[in-house]
Structure 1
Amino acid sequence: MTESILPTLLQYGMELDPSVQKHGNHFYTVNSLYFDSPLRDDYYDKAGGFLNRKKIRIRVYEDILTQKTDEIWLEKKLKRDMHVAKKRICIPFEHYKELLKGSRAHMLALYKDSRYGAELLEDIIRQNMRPHVAVQYKRVPLIVPGSSDLRITLDSDIKACFSSDLCYSPAMTWVYPGTTVIEVKFSTLIPSWLKSLITRCGLQRASFSKYTNSVEALRTYNPLPR
């Protein structure tokens, strides 16, 4: 799908996001470590079809996290129906390791004056959240040059594993092999040409949670109770 739709999007004037240049390719790797409560509250919120949902994760843009990783993001993704918002802070490697060890109170003190840091850490502490699943995929990011707020991402080669640290790379399981997840992000109106393209390609709007689908792929032979 990525190979077939990418040339078409480029023909309509979209360009690769400049952020891919430092990766030396037309895509970059997204590597996320999702946190959840012992009762898997965030997983069940999505599986149960609740309107308001959230995800807490660590995210880096490389295959494996090391001490040399420039950007380590602690993120909270909020979703209400199809409306998405993201809050995130960049943390150093030593704080990442401290978070994994469970030193949450000290972390909260460090980030008490941060715009989003305190909120994210309070969520983690309140729900006793721990790392649960690592998800990795390739992302092709596209933008419209100029002032347009339209951004399209093509995510493929999605794979996952149960993990507690992105510094290690255990064997991963494919999640919907051969599938490309197309995310269209805009804040005003979707362009008419994109509407026509979506119709012509037979695409339909759908909610796809990489975290939830990864958990279910990993639990194929040992599903979580519903």
Structure 2
Amino acid sequence: MLFAAGFGTRMGALTASRPKPLIEVAGRPLIDHALDLATAHGAAPVVANLHYLPDQLAQHLAGRNIRLSLEMPEILETGGGLRAALPLLGTGPVFTMNTDAVWRGPNPLDQLAGLWRPAEMDALLLCIPRAQTVGHSGTGDFQIDADGRATRGPGSVYSGLQIVKPDLLHTIPERAFSLNRLWDLMLSEGRLFAADYPGQWCDVGHPEGIALAESLLAAPDV
């Protein structure tokens, strides 16, 4: 599930006439960078949710065997958007991925799949140690204990990528809601887990992030 419905307000004028996933980094739209990772992992089916300027995204994704979940008249946020897309995704755990970041290092979907333990986990979040983030400020989102369980608090930064079981989505009455609502339910049962990514990650949620992401991608291998 690729989250592509947002307004991209932090991008200012750059998103006045185009959706944020179509902003280019290193000559390619952000959503294509995310699709590269999903395709390399073999994730299928792939669903993208649309709301803001949806026709542009639909045209860009045409012919790629990507299913589209159109959110109208209102945007459904991450939790509501995932729930609305479930008929297109099928049953079982799913990857969800933001489309406003660039990665440098091993395929993060491969890492999550290798760490996924469905008997213990309802969600596995991929996080970034703060020293390995580019273009991101703040104290972090989650702490991770020795068993991989996550708790909220200053620590690693949530990357926007996870594996999640969607079952509990149906217990939330609101139509539009954040995935944070789902994670709170999992936290209460000790079934929210997280892992740190070994590479680097750049937040491209603001205009300055474009140049930072391009520099990250162009940096020589160490």
Common fold: TM-score over 0.5: no
Larger radius of gyration: 1
TM-score normalised per structure 2: 0.23
- The structure richer in strand per residue is 1
Q: Relative contact order (alpha carbons < 8 A, sep ≥ 6): 1 or 2 greater?
A: 2
Q: Normalising by structure 1, what TM-score?
A: 0.23
More helix by share: 2
